[in-house]
């Protein structure tokens, strides 16, 4: 099938770009002891997870138990849920996953240690647990240092829990505009993790995994000598928000190629100043700015179209015609993926495959 035959709106993957992005992260750690554990929150798709593992990833991260279920069902054998899970319903499902795969989960509270131990004991499994550190994310996580060590000791003392390491994701650092700002923020996080590791060692606790990093900072964590697992997510797709941050040498961030697009068609040119396409906010999320219209500098996607309408302001030139097909680069890949049932995967101009977004809508 040709790309021209695909109905719109549709979520496209350019396979050449996707494969190249996966290769680039694999190459970045080649020959080092740093492992890649990509985040499945971005793609929610076992087909992509399998390609990441084939390129050397040791397993996947997930944010939700339902994502972990989709990954394990798709054949992924090693998953860390980089999130706190304390609800008994969710823990029951996590424990049953732990009978089929290696499952890790995060913890940031002494009370949660008891909850995790109770669930693991009831299910007859050992859960692998990471202490989540607050290193700039301003959401979950204990303070680095003594609090983290005390929590690790509690976990270590439980018969059905195994303390495996630290989770230290510095989310806000990822989209800081300059590499200098990202370097400074990451250096601070690295220092906090380093001090915690030293205190853990003094308490006699080893740390198999020190995980964190995203697309904007992964090279910094990789070369820190402290982190040994990279949780890069958006790199597979490289959304428009990441295209707006700066790279090395004050140029744009060009570590990855755009591989994810929303294919849309123009359905109205009745207005003088704008055209309307069929990709509104049910097809592309606008929480991080506007999509880029590929190869059409004369068209600017703007807010205010609606759920099913995308508004394209007209610049110089003849403007689009009814039925013209456009590719949009989504501003924020993860929640845009979550709006769609499948990826239409193409190479050149030919559709090669259709991959279900297995964990789409999985919020539990
Ligand atoms: C815990 C965690 N790790 C890794 C990532 C991946 O970050 P990115 O998509 O910027 O690569 C995220 C993204 O939100 C995250 O929440």
For 180-196, how does the pLDDT look when each residue is reduced to its tens digit (9 = 90+)? 999 999 999 999 999 99
CA dist., res. 15 & res. 24, Å (int): 14
CA dist., res. 46 & res. 49, Å (int): 5
The whole-number pLDDT of residue 363 equals: 87
The whole-number pLDDT of residue 170 equals: 98
- Residues 290-343 have pLDDT tens digits of 999 999 999 999 999 999 999 999 999 889 999 999 999 999 999 999 999 999
Ligand 1 centroid–CA 130 distance in Å is 16
Q: What is the mean pLDDT of each run of 10 residues along the chain (364 residues)?
A: 97 98 98 98 98 98 98 98 98 98 98 98 98 96 98 98 98 97 98 98 97 98 98 98 92 96 98 97 97 97 98 94 98 98 98 98 89
User: Using an 8 Å Cβ cutoff, are 38 and 232 in contact?
Assistant: yes
Ligand 1 centroid–CA 309 distance in Å is 30
Q: Any idea what DSSP says for residue 291? A: P
Q: Is 82 in the pocket of ligand 1 (CB under 6 A)?
A: yes
The whole-number pLDDT of residue 250 equals: 79
Ligand 1 centroid–CA 187 distance in Å is 18
CA dist., res. 125 & res. 100, Å (int): 10
Our CA angle for 169, 61, 214, nearest 5°, is 40
User: Using an 8 Å Cβ cutoff, are 32 and 9 in contact?
Assistant: no
Buried b (16+ CB within 10 A) or exposed e, 247-264: eeeeeebebbebbbbbbb
The single residue listed with the structure tokens 């004050």 is: 250
Ligand 1 centroid–CA 124 distance in Å is 31
Token pair of 274, please?
A: 């704008």
Our CA angle for 303, 313, 263, nearest 5°, is 75
CA dist., res. 202 & res. 148, Å (int): 13
Q: Closest Cα to residue 156, out of 95, 208, 226?
A: 208
As a whole number, the mean pLDDT across the chain is 97
The whole-number pLDDT of residue 210 equals: 98
Ligand 1 centroid–CA 182 distance in Å is 15
The whole-number pLDDT of residue 60 equals: 98
Exposure on the CB side of residue 192, measured as CA atoms within 13 A: 24
The whole-number pLDDT of residue 185 equals: 98
Whole-angstrom Cα Rg for the chain: 22
Q: What is the DSSP string of 187-221?
A: HHHHHHHHHHHHHHHHTT---SEEEE--TTTHHHH
Residue minimizing CA distance to atom 4 of ligand 1: 231
Distances (CA, A) of 207 to 9, 227, 304: 46, 11, 49
Q: Is 39 in the pocket of ligand 1 (CB under 6 A)?
A: yes
The single residue listed with the structure tokens 């190479």 is: 347
Residue minimizing CA distance to atom 14 of ligand 1: 171
Q: Is 42 in the pocket of ligand 1 (CB under 6 A)?
A: yes
Token pair of 94, please?
A: 């996590």
Three-state secondary structure readout of 112-170: HHHHHHHHHHHHCCCEEEEEEECCCCCCCCECCCHHHHHHHHHHHCCCCEEEEEEECCC
């Amino acid at each position: 099938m040709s790309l021209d035959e695909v109905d719109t709106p549709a979520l496209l993957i350019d396979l050449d770009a996707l494969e190249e992005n996966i290769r680039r992260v694999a190459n970045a750690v080649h020959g080092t002891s740093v492992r890649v554990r990509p985040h499945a929150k971005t793609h929610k798709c076992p087909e992509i997870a399998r390609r990441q593992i084939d390129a050397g990833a040791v397993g996947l991260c997930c944010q939700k138990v339902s994502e972990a279920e989709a990954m394990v069902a798709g054949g992924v054998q090693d998953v860390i849920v980089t999130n706190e899970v304390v609800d008994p319903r969710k823990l029951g499902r996590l424990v049953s996953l732990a009978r089929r795969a290696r499952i890790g989960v995060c913890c940031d509270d002494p009370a949660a240690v008891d909850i995790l131990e109770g669930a693991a004991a009831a299910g007859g499994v050992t859960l692998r647990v990471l202490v989540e550190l607050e290193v700039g994310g301003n959401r979950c996580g204990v303070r680095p240092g003594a609090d983290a060590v005390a929590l690790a000791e509690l976990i270590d003392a439980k018969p059905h829990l195994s303390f495996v390491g630290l989770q230290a994701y510095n989310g806000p650092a990822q989209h800081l505009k300059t590499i200098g700002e990202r370097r400074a923020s990451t250096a601070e996080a690295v220092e906090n993790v380093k001090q915690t590791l030293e205190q853990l060692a003094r308490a006699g606790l080893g740390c198999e995994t020190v995980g964190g990093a995203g697309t904007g900072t992964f090279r910094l964590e990789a070369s820190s000598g402290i982190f040994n697992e990279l949780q890069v997510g958006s790199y597979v797709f490289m959304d428009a928000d990441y295209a707006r941050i700066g790279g090395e040498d004050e140029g744009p961030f060009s570590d990855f190629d755009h591989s994810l697009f929303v294919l849309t068609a123009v359905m109205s040119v009745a207005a003088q100043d704008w055209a309307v396409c069929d990709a509104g906010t049910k097809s592309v999320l606008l929480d991080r700015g506007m999509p880029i219209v590929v190869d059409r500098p004369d068209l600017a996607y703007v807010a205010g179209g609606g759920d099913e309408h995308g508004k394209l302001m007209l610049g110089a030139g003849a403007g689009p015609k009814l039925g013209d097909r456009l590719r949009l680069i989504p501003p924020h890949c993860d929640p845009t993926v979550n709006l769609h049932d499948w990826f239409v995967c193409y190479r050149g101009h030919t559709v090669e495959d259709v991959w279900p977004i297995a964990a789409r809508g999985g919020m539990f």
